[in-house]
Amino acid sequence: MEQLLQSSQGRHVVFFTHNEQSHITPMLVLARLLVSRGLQVTCARALPATAYASYISTNNSNNTLSCTPEPKFQVESVEESPQHSCASCNACTRPRRSSSLTLCIMPGRTKSQIAFQPGMQDEVIDFIPGLMKGFRVADIPLDFLRRIPAELEGLNFLQHSKACAGIVLYNTSYALEVEAEALDALVALGLQIYPVAPMLNMDPCNITTVLYREDDKCLSWLDRQPLGSVVYVSFGSIVSLTREEVLELALGLEACGQPFLWVIRCIEGVSDVMSVLPPGFVERINTKGLIVVWAPQVAVLSHPSVGCFIFHSGLTSLLEAIWAGVPMIGDLYKISEQNTVFRVMTEGWRVALPIIHESRPHSPLRNCIETAIKEVLRDGGAAIRLRIAPLRAALKEAVGPSGISRQYLEQLVDVLLSLAHE
């Protein structure tokens, strides 16, 4: 170890990440890969709360615009303002009215307000290079179209960071056809991109690091279930379901008649998760279902008893499900990029079904969940598994000894080593 540290002098990489499991896991895999190549790595901890004091507003008004974020600056005339283009898809932030009015080009209107208005969600977008055909405004990460309070500083920071970056790593792979088109479009814009996903099966230490206490008993429970029969339900580490959503999901799972493993981490405004479940639900499901606070997701998805995965359309979870070859169900809860992920997996790759289908838009949620599960598991999910198979093979090849994602990782290491000698 001492020899390794000595050899890494001058080759120090610092990692900053969002403090959520889906962000931390790939970061640590990448960090350990770099360490194995002789680089010294530091993973920064979260900043203290006082570090954000200057960003806290004493007037937390929800009086926001339904529009894309504007740069925070003042101009003397419209001609001096920068040209507008597609908003950054890395944040769910929006300006207050005061920051947007500096860019008025007609009374009461801003450029972004003209570009996207709340009534335009169904408009098809055909001007973003590399975007899958048929995407609507509602399908791309425009959470700022919804009326939620947010701060502009976060977006400014991300835009500034991207402008300063020599290399941008992407949690995707050229092995996936739809993603390859988008990546080529980014290259055409002059970005030096390294798509290195999936960060699976590439960890030299094979160590799992989790923020939440995992319930390993779920694996032994899965061992006792029939092959391909279990419905695995997890909405990640950020999503907090409402009482109504939990109630409907519980009734839908019970009605489908399949064994299920359900991860419930948090519910809005509820400390006792079990108190929200329908009366007698726990007794009725008995050994048919298992509820846990957290589960080792990669191990669960890889278990032969798992037949389908109900989730929040998160990108990391999607890659893990494809890696394991598990059919998916989504659409219950989507934030940030999850709209885009959902559209790709349901209509692009067709490896997932929506819970709310256009053929049953007004059906009770519990009925939609039951129907979706039965449809996915029909004939053991053979139809969807057949479509997942080439994607799964492509991802596994991408991280193989000569795979495209592995090559980008090697190039990244070479670049970092060369910087250390400059």
Question: 245-272 in b/e burial notation, b at 16+ Cβ within 10 A?
Answer: bbbbbbbbbbebebbbbbbbbebeebee
Same domain, 311 and 348: yes
Contact 110, 103 (CB under 8 A): yes
Residue 59, helix vs strand vs coil: coil
Which residues are CB-contacts of 32 (< 8 A; sequence separation ≥ 6)? 41, 203, 204, 205, 207
Same domain, 282 and 198: no
Same domain, 85 and 25: no
Establish if 338 belongs to a structural domain: yes
Share of the chain above pLDDT 90, in %: 28
Mean pLDDT of 103-109: 40
- Say whether pLDDT at 85 is over 90: no
**How does pLDDT run across 242-282, given as a tens digit for each residue?**
888 889 999 999 999 999 999 987 666 677 778 889 999 99
Domain that holds residue 191: 2-48+162-202+399-420
Establish if 210 belongs to a structural domain: no
Domain boundary pick from 150, 175, 191: 150
User: Average per-residue pLDDT in the chain?
Assistant: 75
Establish if 69 belongs to a structural domain: yes
Contact 68, 142 (CB under 8 A): yes
Same domain, 277 and 387: yes
Considering only 60-74, 119-133, 195-209, which range has the smallest mean pLDDT? 60-74
Contact 312, 245 (CB under 8 A): no
- Compare 48 and 1 and report the one with higher pLDDT: 48
Find the CATH number of the domain harbouring 373.
3.40.50.2000
Q: Which pLDDT score, from 0 to 100, does residue 329 have?
A: 95
Residue type, 220: S
Same domain, 121 and 99: yes
Total domains, the chain: 3
Q: What would the two tokens of residue 283 be?
A: 């007794």
Q: What is the DSSP letter of 346?
A: I
Same domain, 250 and 363: yes
Mean pLDDT of 278-295: 90
Establish if 317 belongs to a structural domain: yes
Sequential DSSP letters for 134-178: T-BGGGSS-GGGS-----HHHHHHHHHHHHH-S-EEESS-TTSHH
Give me the helix-helix angle, 21-36 and 315-324, nearest 10°.
70
Q: What is the pTM of this model?
A: 0.75
Same domain, 372 and 411: no
Q: Which pLDDT score, from 0 to 100, does residue 351 have?
A: 95
**How does pLDDT run across 412-421, given as a tens digit for each residue?**
888 888 876 6
Sign (positive or negative) of CA dihedral 151, 138, 196, 232 = positive
Same domain, 269 and 299: yes
Identify which of 68, 63, 119 has the alpha carbon closest to the alpha carbon of residue 90. 68
Same domain, 122 and 170: no
Establish if 212 belongs to a structural domain: no
Same domain, 42 and 177: yes
Nearest-angstrom CA–CA distance, 29 and 248:
37
Same domain, 121 and 32: no
Q: Which pLDDT score, from 0 to 100, does residue 380 have?
A: 75
Same domain, 121 and 195: no
Establish if 389 belongs to a structural domain: yes
Establish if 185 belongs to a structural domain: yes
Mean pLDDT of 192-213: 67
Establish if 209 belongs to a structural domain: no
Mean pLDDT of 313-320: 90
